[in-house]
Structure 1
Amino acid sequence: MASGIRVIHCTSTGCDEYGGFQDWIHQDAAGVIGETIDSDTVVIIEHQKRLMYFRRGMNANEMTETPLPEDGWESIYIGEMQPILLQIEELKGLVCNGPYCMVFLNDSEQGARFCFPLPRVQTPLEYSLLETLSTEVFKFQQEVDIVRLTIDQQIDQVIDNVTHHLASTIPELDCEKREYISEIVAHRSVAFGSFLPFLLMEETEEVFLDRPGTSLYFDHQRFGRCQTSVVIDREYVSRIVTLIRSEVNLHLDRRNPSLKADLTIQQMPLRISASIEPLSPEGLHLEIRRARRRAFSLRDLIANGTLTVEAASVLLLAVVSRFNITITGGPGAGKTTLLNALDMVTPRDWRKVYIEDASESRTIEGHHQVRFSVDPVDERVRSFTKEEEIVKSLHRSPDYLILGEIQTREHSEALFQAVVAGLKVMQTCHGDSALGLVSRWNDAHRIAKSSIGLMDLIVTIERFQPGRSRRRVTEISEICRDSRDGFVHFIGLNQVYTHRDGMVGRWSPNGPFMRTAKSLGLSSHEPALKTLMDLIRSGLDLESNLSNRPFLYNAHPMENLTQI
């Protein structure tokens, strides 16, 4: 249940004048602003001491005494952030994650949202200690080994050494604060240290750097696009480029000035896209996409409004029927998120082969999954290409071939070669609609309409607004075909679902749903579709139940679902 954040600014005049905490609360309250996920939050900013107190799950009117840790309050020394917190009244949210407390603020004058990371230290002494250790971090690094260590090993080494140092020199510092200080010092010691406070948040989607000398900004699932005060200068950029080269073992230089690669830092799977001169004439351009530790399920996507029950039912029936499915949408629309959610409801005994240049698929416990990693299209010299591996999959016996993103004409040619050969496929492709995607395949990629006719379903997903987290499936279109003189003929597209109208209900006799039902001796697939809708509305755990139910897979699921 959404509820408010109550912000209380305590000035020296206010606290002294009202003489007691209870009186001051009523006189100086800033009001309820912003939203949190699950409970009321009271935030007190005591400017004279540069302290911020906060506590979740209470009503400010119930407060009768000074906030204490034993009463559930946490305090943070805000230090140099104090002038900012005094000027900007609109606190949107607090997210405490590991050693950082992230403060989300609205700036009504600029019409923007800002995020500031605060170290979770409580006193000026702890803050000063953190800053001193950060400048002397070289004392805690083993220079002989540092060039051979991964970024995680470097972080772990510094954490261990700083923790040992603090335990021996300041034994009275409690374990939690010792851990927080050690982690922050370790983060600051590596090239990606400035990014880590934002990447560590589970709800961070993507972090951006436009060019050196500009500040980072990022997209957050709840708070949308957020600005930061972290500026990346050119000296820091050179460290980042060196780190990327060493971690991903790909070229990033003048001959190969862009790359896309996977990198895992602190158990966070990241996809990095980087460009440098001469392709990016102003210097390093960086996009870091963070994958959630737990992938969104179909039920999650229904809950957050990406899917309706009707749309989810159509997609479920298409997946269990092994239709050829392409998900299209713009950058950041959620194509891969939806693809992974559909992957999670496939039967456990299906053999799935994945071919990706960025490993965005998820390991699903108990499923048969075989992965092949190919070189990204940015790499000038490629040893393993997606188009070659797609063709090789004809001899790998996949029940479903999952291809990640189809980007080039060569990718499309290999995709449809696999489809014509009888493989069942799921993939994503950039586009703004089913109509636009078919035009791209036919006009730009020179795919014959007879081959396009063998694709079954195109799902379009969109992001409401740039920098906002809301997404939705806007249309589901079936591809219609017939045969004449022994050849496949592409008839056209038929919308079976739109976000505006819901289930359209006009099922083409030449579309994959009615064709499949007819081949099974059924009058329609709609009873099976209704059964799936009822199962979803019943609250059934789709991933653990549907993928194991024998009634779906002992015969064709469309046939079995009509008998439930």
Structure 2
Amino acid sequence: MNTITKYSILPYQVQIKKDDQHSHQYYIPTLLFNETKYHSFIKMLKTKILQKNGELDTTLMKLSQLMSYLRRIIDEQLTQNQFKMNIKTEYLREWLIYKILGLEQLMCLLIDDNIQEIYLDKPNSPLYIDHTDYGRCLTNIILTSTDLQKFVSRLCLEKDTFINHSNPSLKAEIETRTFHIRATVDISPLAADGFSMNVRKLRRKIWTLPELIANNTLTIEAASYLLFLLKRRNNFTFIGEPGSGKTTLANAIDLLTAPQWRKISIEEVIESVDQKHFNRFQTRFLVTPFEKKSGQLTKSEEIIKLLHRSPDWVFLGEIQTAEHSNALFEALSAGLVGIQTCHGRSIELMISRWIQQHKISPICILSLDLLIQVSIGFDNWQINRRVSRIAEIANSEQEKNPINQTDTEINIIDIFQYDYHENKLVKCLDLYKTPLVNRIRSYENLSLKKFNLELEQIQKILQYLVENQIYDLSNTLRYLSSILYNKLLTEQKKECVLSK
């Protein structure tokens, strides 16, 4: 096998290798010290921990709390055993924590931010992963039944639930200071081979719009148009397959809303970004997942209740069921706007699903405003996530991609579409003449000159951020808010913004 690259995720070194004969890629972590040297120390640590009275006797700890507790105990023992406290000792301590918890086989995969997802199809088979830079890779890690049981037990404790023959599926989230995951586990009789697992890594560092542009998810021109419409509170619906990056892009857009807006999110799993540190007015509601039939706090009911909570912007997360869809369109028809995501392979298929399966009246589809289709594909083993289409719903007098339903004709107008010959997202229409901009022009004094100036200023700021690799959230908000939510800047003021 040929080594493609190697890098350190202390206390591991990771090698990415390629087997040209079978066209497989491998992710191979190696511990940078000899663990056999510490067997007796680990045994002593376990004895000390079991002998200690206090927190462990009376409290059911979350993993993050348990890790902090173990960190204190291990530091005490390292000091007593005259270990010199330095960077190497700190990494040894972290490894000891995972070792004591029975999670050391997963440690490198959990703490490596380059890993996006971890998969196990069946017992006694190697884990495989999705890597940010190298796509799908096999690993040399095979978890024992004991390893799996310890991990599942931790998930159950984290969520205060159980998994058994009668309840063979488990979804749980774990957040610590070194990783944040959402895990799905299935066992027999649902899992035909006895066990399967999918662990999604939730990036601790938030993806911002400039970073997604640099990552070729979308172009500066398309991003500028989205921000122009965001400023004017148009509704955004992100449609795509699982894992295509819908929520990532939705969050990057949602972070750039006006600071004075009152924002409310309603989610079954919290995927929106906590914005309290950025002086945003934000309330987040966590409702019962739709698969739990006995839940009291249903998403559909809480969406309807939004009408009495006076939001300026709503983040609804994933719209899955017919009940969700009916609640969504009732809210949109009542004037609420915001962001939602939906699973679907195309805009047309999603609209057909709403109308045919969820029994949404075709006239309600007109309230969607903006539809962003996000796609996932493979180039050899590399995973590509990109915006493949940005479209708007037009009234019946405009003709393009019609879907005829009873007396209502729904016209989907493509604004941007991915060109696979040019390998980029290209503009399909004069932006000043799109359905949404035409609607904005009916109530706003928006001349062509003013429109072009605003788009140009947004593009220049985005270009500056991308070229200078300014991806952190604080600076992204500072630069873009200056453009979006202040009066149009003069050239002199704009230079001041860029020079700060």
Q: How high is the TM-score relative to the length of structure 1?
A: 0.75
Q: 1:380 to 1:429 in 2, by over 3 A?
A: same
Check if 1:517 corresponds to 2:425.
no
**Residue 481 of structure 1: aligned partner:** 395
Map of 1:41-440 to 2, 5 A cutoff?
88=1, 90-121=2-33, 126-134=34-42, 138-142=46-50, 145=56, 148-169=60-81, 171=82, 175-364=86-275, 365-440=278-353
Secondary structure, aligned partner of 1:472 = strand
Q: Is the 8 A contact 1:245 1:252 kept in 2?
A: yes
The CA distance in 2 between the partners of 1:134 and 1:447, in whole Å, is 61
Identify which range, 342-351 or 96-105, moves more after superposition.
96-105
In the TM superposition, residue 117 of structure 1 has moved relative to its aligned partner by 2.1
Q: Is the 8 A contact 1:271 1:289 kept in 2?
A: yes
Specify the code of the residue in structure 1 equivalent to 2:251: N
Specify the code of the residue in structure 2 equivalent to 1:242: S
Give the alignment partner of residue 382 of structure 2, picking from 468, 491, 497.
Answer: 468
In the TM superposition, residue 173 of structure 1 has moved relative to its aligned partner by 5.4
The CA distance in 2 between the partners of 1:115 and 1:240, in whole Å, is 21
Q: Is the 8 A contact 1:401 1:426 kept in 2?
A: yes
The CA distance in 2 between the partners of 1:166 and 1:129, in whole Å, is 14
Q: Is the 8 A contact 1:259 1:376 kept in 2?
A: no
Larger Rg: 1
The CA distance in 2 between the partners of 1:141 and 1:117, in whole Å, is 29
Q: Is the 8 A contact 1:120 1:180 kept in 2?
A: no
Specify the code of the residue in structure 2 equivalent to 1:98: L
* Unpaired runs of at least 5, structure 2: 398-406, 420-424, 467-474, 489-493, 495-500
Identity %: 29
The CA distance in 2 between the partners of 1:324 and 1:410, in whole Å, is 19
Map Cα deviations across residues 8-53 of structure 1 (whole Å, 9 max, x no partner): xxxxxxxxxxxxxxxxxxxxxxxxxxxxxxxxxxxxxxxxxxxxxx
Q: 1:532 to 1:116 in 2, by over 3 A?
A: same
Give the alignment partner of residue 498 of structure 1, picking from 417, 436, 439.
Answer: 417
Q: Is the 8 A contact 1:355 1:371 kept in 2?
A: yes
**Residue 533 of structure 1: aligned partner:** 459
Secondary structure, aligned partner of 1:493 = strand
Specify the code of the residue in structure 1 equivalent to 2:441: A
Q: 1:490 to 1:137 in 2, by over 3 A?
A: farther
* Unpaired runs of at least 5, structure 1: 1-87, 556-560
Structure with the greater relative contact order (CA < 8 A, sep ≥ 6): 1 or 2? 2
The CA distance in 2 between the partners of 1:547 and 1:260, in whole Å, is 37
Q: Is the 8 A contact 1:100 1:119 kept in 2?
A: yes
The CA distance in 2 between the partners of 1:259 and 1:387, in whole Å, is 23
Q: Is the 8 A contact 1:163 1:178 kept in 2?
A: no
Q: 1:191 to 1:450 in 2, by over 3 A?
A: farther
The CA distance in 1 between the partners of 2:360 and 2:217, in whole Å, is 31
The CA distance in 2 between the partners of 1:400 and 1:232, in whole Å, is 45
Aligned length: 458
Identify which range, 470-479 or 126-135, moves more after superposition.
126-135
The CA distance in 2 between the partners of 1:468 and 1:392, in whole Å, is 43
Q: Is the 8 A contact 2:322 2:358 kept in 1?
A: yes
Q: Is the 8 A contact 2:461 2:479 kept in 1?
A: no
The CA distance in 2 between the partners of 1:390 and 1:426, in whole Å, is 13
Map Cα deviations across residues 100-139 of structure 1 (whole Å, 9 max, x no partner): 2222222223322222222232xxxx54213454566532
Q: Is the 8 A contact 1:256 1:379 kept in 2?
A: no
Q: Is the 8 A contact 2:12 2:29 kept in 1?
A: yes
Q: 1:244 to 1:102 in 2, by over 3 A?
A: same
The CA distance in 1 between the partners of 2:266 and 2:284, in whole Å, is 6
Map Cα deviations across residues 426-466 of structure 1 (whole Å, 9 max, x no partner): 11111122112111111121111111111101101112318
Q: How high is the TM-score relative to the length of structure 2?
A: 0.84
In the TM superposition, residue 398 of structure 1 has moved relative to its aligned partner by 1.0
